[in-house]
Amino acid sequence: MRLLVFGGTSFVGRAIVEDAVGRGHLVTTVNRGLTGADVAGVEALRGDRSTELGVLAGRTFDAVVDPSGQVPLQVLRTAWAKYAPFYAFVSTTAVYRALDAAGTDESAATWPGVADEDGDPADLTTLGPRKRGCELAVEQTYGSQGLIARAGMIVGPHDNVGQLPWWLGRIAVGGPFIAPGDPGRGLQLIDARDLAAFVLDQVEARRGGVHNVVPDGPNTTMGRLLDDCVRATGSDAEAMWMDEGFLLAQGVQPWAELPLWIPGGGAFWSVSGASAKAAGLRLRPFAETVRDTWEWLRSGGEVRAVAGAHPFGISKEKEQKVLAAWESA
């Protein structure tokens, strides 16, 4: 197939392009050339979808794959251009108004969204409504020939979010470290490469629709994740499991300072993935994701956070104070 991919140099986009090239597809990428190196074997074009895409004038493809769209108006213009008869858009479960009930499926209430809304893609506080606007732009233009892949928390090599890489980096240092809450609390995480494979499978079959592209239930726990990090890094790090109430009393910020920790966040990690599973989603063992992410970091990989994102992780000084307070208590 002749595929047009917007972005294609970072994280999910890179995983899609690498997989597509490996499958023998002819891939054309369009990006500004600012985020990362182009994947070998693609036709790499430079263009900025916030202004104009004259570089694509007169071009046609078998499918458009859009893992980078965040501004509805830009996605709408791309959809209107009809570069291909099929459009696959990578969205997010953040489009749902609430993730406080277990089993949230594709019928749950979403933010309203506006298909022709313009805005700043770096404003991550409006990510949910804007991604819903992007979805509407695709749905209104392509109908049944549009795929909406709502991803949950994504991890893996070429990570541009930085949560799993932070844990790997901290644990590689060794010594006692803060482990938050219940080690048995389930997590629902998807490898970018598994997300990419699912999207390409649907593109090849020209199957549209809306799917939560997440594991259908937790695929690891906080305890197993940290154990996997210890094994992958070969570290002597020791997890000090601390009560959530104690951590909050110490002023430790969930998610920001201890990535992937949401106090009482069980429902957040139990979005329904039944639809994607039925459509063929395949998941690798999570320990493989941890190992491959560490190998990527060791080989010189670094997290290049998306614009507007704040860095993750607790400072060394604050961590030592919390560890001392826990030992004293």
**Measured distance CA(211)–CA(273) in Å, rounded:** 8
**Measured distance CA(58)–CA(70) in Å, rounded:** 25
pLDDT confidence of residue 323: 98
| Alpha carbon distances (Å) from 93 to 84, 183, 225, 267 | 26, 24, 22, 13
pTM of the complete model? 0.97
Measured in degrees and rounded to the nearest 5, phi and psi for residue 178 equal -75, 130
Which residues of the chain fall below pLDDT 70? none
pLDDT confidence of residue 281: 98
pLDDT confidence of residue 301: 95
pLDDT confidence of residue 274: 98
pLDDT confidence of residue 120: 80
Domains and their CATH numbers in the chain = 2-155+189-213 (3.40.50.720), 163-187+219-266+286-328 (3.90.25)
What digits encode the pLDDT tens for the residues 271-293? 999 999 999 999 999 999 999 99
